[in-house]
Copies of this chain bind each other. A is one copy, B any other.
Amino acid sequence: MASGIDPSSIQALLFDTFGTTVDWRGSMIAYLEAFGRETGRAADWTGLADAWRARYKPAIQEVRDGKRLWANFDVLHRETLDELIPQFGLTNLSDDERNYLVRGWASLDPWPEAITGLAHLKRAYIIGSLSNGNVRQLTDMAKRAGIPWDVIFGADTFHHYKPDAEIYRGAVELLDCPAEAVVMVAAHNNDLEAAKGCGLRTAFVQRPTEDAAPKGDWDILATDFEDLARQLAA
């Protein structure tokens, strides 16, 4: 399937990270299970991964609503972990152990074809993250997993979480080009809807753990990053 975008009109692609570029769920379950084996603890690690991720949207919503001052993803993940710990029978976790678990969010593995797809796209376009993660976390993740970002934008670059308009507009300003020369790539319809509202182009990529189907008039529908690269003739 060819995309409806003229590739020569595009200068940069911005990628959602958690769920779109990396498999947060499979990676985090494996990270928690390994922690359990190494420390001799038993718990419903899959349940913890899912419950932890489920707390992410309410946590950033408090920041987005101005109910609390800016706090980055690591801070929010530590708080939501602390909230969940009693329910998973892990109250004997030390402070260092809790921080180790939070660092799991910087240790996620890309979807199988993500790196090769990005490598193709990088030849023709600027490729960057535009994530609710923080720059340090995204940098550590990229170095560990070999994600070849040209540029890393996190929520803390702009002190706004997606889908606030400020984060999309801020990224376009730093890319110093028209909004329509930038494609937002995500497995989340609400991310694309907000990006479209700011004038960016949109590409929906289907991922097994994220939105089940595209719901919106997106410029590109792709099965994965290699398909995206083919459609953009990269």
Contacts and interface: CB of A to CB of B under 8 A. Distances in A.
A151 interface: yes
A134 B174 CA distance: 7
A134 B72 contact: no
Contact of A176 (B136, B150, B151): B136
Interface residues of A, number: 22
B143 A157 contact: no
Q: Determine chain A's interface SS by DSSP, over half rule.
A: helix
A175 B143 contact: no
Interface string A162-182: 000000000001111100000
A126 interface: yes
A58 B84 CA distance: 55
A143 B173 CA distance: 19
A142 interface: yes
Contacts of A142: 150
Contacts of A33: none
A176 B73 CA distance: 11
15 contacts: A126-B139, A126-B143, A134-B176, A135-B151, A135-B174, A135-B176, A136-B175, A136-B176, A137-B176, A143-B150, A151-B151, A151-B152, A152-B152, A154-B174, A156-B176
Interface of A: 72, 74, 126, 134-137, 139-140, 142-143, 150-152, 154, 156-157, 173-177
